[in-house]
Amino acid sequence: MSGQGEPPLPIATRMVRDMAAGKGYGKRVKSTGNHSPGRSRMPNSMACGIDIGDSTSLASVYSPSGELVDRFEFEMNSKGYEFASMRVPKEARIACEATGMTYPLVRALEGYGYDVTVANPKQLKWIVKSKKKSDKVDSEKLARLLMVGMLPEAHLMSREEQRTRDLLVQRVLLGREIGRMKARILSYLKREGLNEGLPKTEDNFSVARRNAIRSLEFDDVRYLVMKTMMDGLEFLEGQCPPLELEIKKFARESEGVKILMSIGGVDYYSASLYSSIIGDVNRYPDDDHLASYLGVIPAEGESSGVKRVGKMSKDGPSLGRWVLDIMAGNAVRYNPPIRQYYQSALRRTGRAKKAKVLTMRKLVRMTYFMLKKRENWKYEKRELTEGKLSRLRSTGRDGDDEGGDT
């Protein structure tokens, strides 16, 4: 009766539950081959769903027929991982969601010989929705979706890829901190009426202006405020060279980065960041999938035969769109054919932002095939590429000047 007991489960949840228990919904469909090896549906294997927490996680183990055989909590540390390995049968496949604690758990479980599938949390919400949410329910959903081959997978970076990404992200964050500190200093100088008396240079923080700021004399606490801000800026700037040295080492060893550097206006740093974010280009079936991952495709909706195309979806890593925006801007500036494409898109759409997005999408397509075919930029100026590669090879070696971005 309505109003008694628990509310009925959504139909998608009931279908997953019944399919895992062997109840069919129409004809069974053969695998299309879209899953990774070993990820397709295996009706005769056990499944374990793990709802990951910061300190403890909950695991639910199901038999091939869909019956719960074990449920337990374990701590998110080496002892907890060992305990889980003793409770989960070795033949069971394991599913968990992508969170901040996924990497250490997956590495530990794979070390014990388990086949682990990591689910994309955003796509998972589209498949199974429920008003009832708990660790128990979430672990059950993961296990049952895995059993019926409906678990949307997330890509996990290797240990080396993760370390390189951390290095590049740290340099980005440091650059943003430096930008914020410079903005604070300029704002303070303008507020105090001191900016007009400083040397006029193209760079607001040229050597001449820095020396002039340092030489400003105050007879009150403004001296201390100005000094601490300038000291803070120089401290942050001093953290950049070691990071840039390691990034250059990565760029020298990466064939993909060197290919991307053949694009006019793209140097080792933006090429390294873009390459790190997209990873192995062969994991994308085509350039549309790469554009979708970066979120530079329009959001679409269709109802009653009417199709509506909206703004850029902005799915995927925002850092990827950030560096792609920089690369597209430089490509427009330094490559006449790309500049002509941008101007044509601007005339067609009448909007600079939309023209920029279309140029970003074109750049995604071109970089996809460049990396796929291992070919340099179609409009490459070879002498400029050689110059960039020569500077990359000659900096940061054997105690040479580490330098800044080239």
User: Residue 214: what pLDDT?
Assistant: 94
Q: Which residue has the tokens 């193209």?
A: 202
Q: How far apart are CA 401 and CA 261, in angstroms?
A: 22
**pLDDT at residue 124 greater than cutoff 90:** no
- For residues 15 and 142, membership in a common domain is answered with yes
Residue whose C-alpha is closest to residue 369's, from 282, 299, 264, 252: 282
Element (H, E) at 61: strand 56-62
Residue 273's domain spans which residues? 254-391
More confident residue, 216 or 23: 216
Q: Provide the pLDDT confidence category of residue 130 given band limits of 50, 70 and 90.
A: low
Q: What is the mean pLDDT of residues 369-395?
A: 91
Q: How far apart are CA 243 and CA 402, in angstroms?
A: 10
Q: Which residue has the tokens 């540390």?
A: 77
User: Residue 129: what pLDDT?
Assistant: 62
Q: Provide the pLDDT confidence category of residue 30 given band limits of 50, 70 and 90.
A: very low
- pLDDT tens digits for 336-347? 999 999 999 999
Q: How far apart are CA 7 and CA 2, in angstroms?
A: 8
Burial of 153 (0-12, 13-18, 19+ CB in 10 A): middle
Given 215, 240, 265, the domain boundary residue is 240
Residue 361 forms part of a structural domain: yes
- For residues 58 and 111, membership in a common domain is answered with yes
Residue whose C-alpha is closest to residue 72's, from 136, 11, 144, 155: 136
- CATH number, domain of 69, equals 3.30.420.140
Given 147, 167, 193, the domain boundary residue is 147
Q: How many domains does the chain have?
A: 3
* Pairing status of strand 47-51 against strand 93-97: parallel
Residue 363 forms part of a structural domain: yes
**pLDDT at residue 9 greater than cutoff 60:** no
- For residues 138 and 23, membership in a common domain is answered with yes
Q: How far apart are CA 248 and CA 160, in angstroms?
A: 16
Among 110-119, 171-180, 273-282, 309-318, the range scoring the smallest mean pLDDT is: 309-318
Residue 17 forms part of a structural domain: yes
- For residues 260 and 226, membership in a common domain is answered with no
Q: Provide the pLDDT confidence category of residue 271 given band limits of 50, 70 and 90.
A: very high
- For residues 218 and 101, membership in a common domain is answered with no
Residue 2 forms part of a structural domain: no
More confident residue, 78 or 308: 78
**pLDDT at residue 2 greater than cutoff 80:** no
**pLDDT at residue 374 greater than cutoff 90:** yes
Q: Which residue has the tokens 């305990």?
A: 83
CA distances (Å), origin 168, targets 139, 162, 163, 241, 268 = 34, 10, 9, 13, 11
- pLDDT tens digits for 315-338? 788 999 999 999 999 999 999 999
Residue 362 forms part of a structural domain: yes
Bridge partners of residue 56, in order along the sequence: 75
The two tokens of residue 390 are: 């020569």
User: Residue 259: what pLDDT?
Assistant: 96
- pLDDT tens digits for 191-200? 999 999 999 9
